[in-house]
Structure 1
Amino acid sequence: MKGNQTVGLIVICGATASGKSGLAIALAQKLKSVILSADSRQVYREFDIGTAKPTVAERQLIPHYLIDICNPTETLTVADYQQQTQTLINDFHHKTSSPPLLVGGTGLYIKAIVQGMKIPRVAPQPELRSQLSSLGQTQLYAMLQQVDLTATEKIHPNDPVRTLRALEVFYVTGRPISEQQGENPPAYPILQIGLDCDRTQLTKRIAQRTEQMIAAGWEAEVKTLIEKYGSELPLLDTLGYREMKQYLAGDISLNQAKELTVLHTRQFAKRQRTWFRAYPAIEWFDADQPDLLKKVWQRVQEFIEIL
């Protein structure tokens, strides 16, 4: 390596249950490096089993960062995540000669780092949103066309979430969201490794992991969270937790909760694959090949040699 300014970054991404964590731990051990999580639910404390958080034993093997960094009642924005991650990467680049590993399946988190997305730092404004929402999507979109025509070229007329966000940013900052967006890619080199596997095999992995979560005490975890925060907590309406919540409420059986979790996780994995496949810089590896670690390690060594 030619000095800490070119330490670089290694990304391990792909669909849920494709084996990213296991591969990342093995690579981090070889590199004597650290893992930065890119998972939008693992940032929250107490949501452990249902988010497939690395175990205590795994975290003792390799230092993990960006896990358990906020409370379930708080909201961590993509801008918050980006800022914290960029600071950590910068710190590691000055402290070590091994590239850190950015690992996870939240595409937007990875894009925020790899492409250096410019994100307007405007926190959600519940009161403003409530006032605007009452006007209806047709009127909101017409308002957005008046204040930020450029934004409407990228936002569909039937997309209330992005329409509302664009108006929110405009009214808080006085500047169109389109002027505040864009990209500022990092100067350091990045190797992006994607894990993929056959759809049938991925379904088996998802089903197996769901069973493991239940065996590890997932039901008790969800019950405790409901008792502590109430069933209306937004995080309890996310993948898996929603289904387990329905079971605990007596609306469905445990078997139905398992089947629905597998089905919805499979659908989510399909969306993740579609997202990641849109980025040509990602180098894909078959998650089920027996010599996966050997092949990825070979590619990592090639990457390190050019730094």
Structure 2
Amino acid sequence: MQPGKPLLALVGPTTVGKTATAIWLAQEFNGEVVSADSRYLYRGMDIGTDKPSPAQRQAVPHHLIDILDPRDEYSLALYQRDAYRAITDIQARGKLPILAGGTPLYIRAVLEGWRIPPAPPNPALRAALEERARREGPEALHRELARVDPIAAARIPPSNVRRVIRALEIFTQTGQPMTALEGRQPPPWRILIIGLTLPRDELYRRIDERVDRQIAQGLVDEVRALLEQNVPPTAPALSALGYQQIVAYLQGHFTLEEAIARIKFDTHRYARHQLTWLRRLPHVQWVRVDQPGWEAQVRALVATFLAGLPTEQKTAPIGPDVDRSGDHRRGVVQ
């Protein structure tokens, strides 16, 4: 990583248009796209992820797409490593890396330089701890965590078994508390972060339209094919929005109409979660993509940044109609 080299990051909630925007910016500014979407990593998961099409990926090089089998384990530390490698390689070839996606942990780990404990996933240990949680209750694991890492125990509730297990996994493999290994070391790049937003009703309308389109394009058959290829229903890849609900439908837990309604509702909730996380990022240049001339505004921001001139920081135009956490319950199956 070389100091001062530029990195453009495009962030925002799902369906706001990050993929298409990243592609035309890459074409105009000699760039390549580095995906920050955890769902794009897996091969065979195209419809439910709204992955860039083959034509789009042929027009502009994309990185960190289709690099995993849906049965593979992957971690935040591995993503950060792979993203840093891709960004550095793009910069070394004199091109502009464009980090684009909606997975907040991925984005923040890269842009803020999170120090991630060097403890890869240990499936056997996790399985043993999960079994213990079922047998003895989550509080037993939490008491053990409080003994070895009281700071982590204070901020992770017993009900969040997955995070408790991860903290215990880190201590078991490193001999050090998770909280002692964490921190931040921002990467030495010049970074411009552009956030794309929409009013809540428009965002939800786009989400609902996309879900209907994905069903029409064959999402059910895509999920069925993954299961027939012996991808376990419990695989992390199939916990993605859209996939977990269709798996439940195929297992007979509810009707297709109920699955569709659940996908829409859960995606609305995820969009709110994304905005909550992304609002914590400093120095974001927010642009509403429903306003006339927004493309020119984005283009000018990037051109000014690449010229080495300061860009005027803008307050996020995310009004209470977008970022409040109240449920949106049209057609929701409880």
**What TM-score comes out, normalization by structure 2 length?**
0.85
Matched, 1:78 2:76: yes
Matched, 1:112 2:109: yes
Distance 1:20 1:163 in 2: 33
Question: Letter of the aligned partner of 2:23 in structure 1?
Answer: I
Matched with 1:257 is 259
Question: Letter of the aligned partner of 2:173 in structure 1?
Answer: V
Report SS of the residue matched to 1:124. Answer: coil
Matched, 1:99 2:96: yes
Report SS of the residue matched to 1:108. Answer: helix
Q: CA deviation at 1:123?
A: 2.1
Residue in structure 2 matching 1:16, options 10, 14, 17: 14
Residue in structure 2 matching 1:57, options 46, 52, 55: 55
Distance 1:152 1:233 in 2: 26
Matched with 2:242 is 240
| C-alpha contact (below 8 Å) 2:26/2:96 kept by paired residues | no
Q: Could you list the per-position Cα deviations for residues 25-49 of structure 1 after superposition, in whole angstroms to 9, with x for gaps in the alignment?
A: 1111111110000011110111111
| C-alpha contact (below 8 Å) 1:73/1:233 kept by paired residues | no
Single out whichever of 252-261 and 109-118 deviates more from structure 2: 252-261
Matched with 1:31 is 29
Q: Could you list the per-position Cα deviations for residues 111-162 of structure 1 after superposition, in whole angstroms to 9, with x for gaps in the alignment?
A: 1110111111212223323444414332322322322233334333443222
Distance 2:297 2:78 in 1: 34
Matched with 1:290 is 292
Residue in structure 2 matching 1:270, options 265, 269, 272: 272
| C-alpha contact (below 8 Å) 1:44/1:71 kept by paired residues | yes
Quote the RMSD (CA, aligned, Å).
1.9
Matched with 1:6 is 4
Distance 2:209 2:97 in 1: 29
Q: CA deviation at 1:269?
A: 0.8
Residue in structure 2 matching 1:87, options 80, 85, 88: 85
Question: Letter of the aligned partner of 2:271 in structure 1?
Answer: A
| Identity across matched positions, percent | 38
Q: Aligned pair in 2 of structure 1 residues 228, 276: CA closer, same or farther (>3 Å)?
A: same
Q: Aligned pair in 2 of structure 1 residues 279, 162: CA closer, same or farther (>3 Å)?
A: same
Q: Aligned pair in 2 of structure 1 residues 247, 194: CA closer, same or farther (>3 Å)?
A: same
Distance 1:6 1:278 in 2: 23
| C-alpha contact (below 8 Å) 1:5/1:94 kept by paired residues | no
| C-alpha contact (below 8 Å) 1:193/1:285 kept by paired residues | yes
Single out whichever of 147-156 and 83-92 deviates more from structure 2: 147-156
Question: Letter of the aligned partner of 1:116 in structure 2?
Answer: G
Question: Letter of the aligned partner of 1:156 in structure 2?
Answer: P
Matched with 2:186 is 185
Report SS of the residue matched to 2:281. Answer: coil
Question: Letter of the aligned partner of 1:12 in structure 2?
Answer: L
Structure 1 unmatched ranges of 5 or more: none
Question: Letter of the aligned partner of 2:12 in structure 1?
Answer: G
Q: How many residues align?
A: 303
Distance 1:21 1:117 in 2: 25
| C-alpha contact (below 8 Å) 2:233/2:247 kept by paired residues | no
Residue in structure 2 matching 1:123, options 115, 120, 124: 120
Matched, 1:212 2:213: yes
Single out whichever of 172-181 and 43-52 deviates more from structure 2: 172-181
Q: Could you list the per-position Cα deviations for residues 244-274 of structure 1 after superposition, in whole angstroms to 9, with x for gaps in the alignment?
A: 2344445544333322221111111111111
Q: Aligned pair in 2 of structure 1 residues 64, 139: CA closer, same or farther (>3 Å)?
A: same
Matched with 1:172 is 173
Q: Aligned pair in 2 of structure 1 residues 46, 233: CA closer, same or farther (>3 Å)?
A: farther
Matched with 1:152 is 153
Structure 2 unmatched ranges of 5 or more: 310-334
Tell me which of the two structures has the higher relative contact order, counting C-alpha pairs closer than 8 angstroms and 6 or more residues apart.
1
Matched with 1:143 is 144
